[in-house]
């Protein structure tokens, strides 16, 4: 693993350090930053789904496509395929 240095304002570093200790059990600042990035990505995905669900026509299309994928998801798992 390659390490690098980033420049952040001291207040940002201090807040990240508090979060690492108070909410994440004393992990390193790098681990705290990684955790925040994962949570950010999850929030983006959930937000996209919320936006999709707000449009009934788009949501129905998504559900239809998921059903199609579900129908083929088990192909060849019964031992008789491929």
pLDDT of 70 reads 84
Q: 41 lies in a domain?
A: yes
Region of residue 72 (left: phi > 0; alpha: psi -120 to 50; beta: else)? alpha
Q: What's the whole-model pTM score?
A: 0.72
Count of domains forming the chain:
1
Among 37, 55, 45, smallest CA distance to 29 is for 37
Q: Is the pLDDT of residue 10 over 90?
A: yes
Apex CA 40: angle with CA 22 and CA 43, to 5°?
A: 115
**DSSP H/E element including 9:** none
Q: 54 lies in a domain?
A: yes
pLDDT of 73 reads 78
Q: 5 lies in a domain?
A: no
Per residue in 38-76, pLDDT (tens digit) is 999 999 999 999 999 999 999 999 999 988 888 887 765
| High-pLDDT (> 70) share of the chain, % | 90
Among 12, 15, 46, 59, smallest CA distance to 24 is for 15
Residue tagged 């570093």 (tokens): 13
Which residue range forms the structural domain that includes residue 60? 11-72
């Amino acid at each position: 693993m390659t390490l690098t240095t980033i420049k952040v304002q001291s207040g940002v570093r201090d807040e990240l350090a508090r979060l690492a200790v108070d909410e994440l059990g004393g992990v390193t600042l790098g681990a705290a930053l990684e955790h925040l990035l994962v949570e950010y990505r999850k929030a983006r995905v959930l937000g996209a789904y919320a936006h999709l669900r707000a449009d009934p026509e788009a949501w129905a299309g998504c559900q239809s496509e998921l059903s199609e994928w579900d129908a083929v998801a088990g192909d060849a798992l019964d031992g008789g395929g491929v």
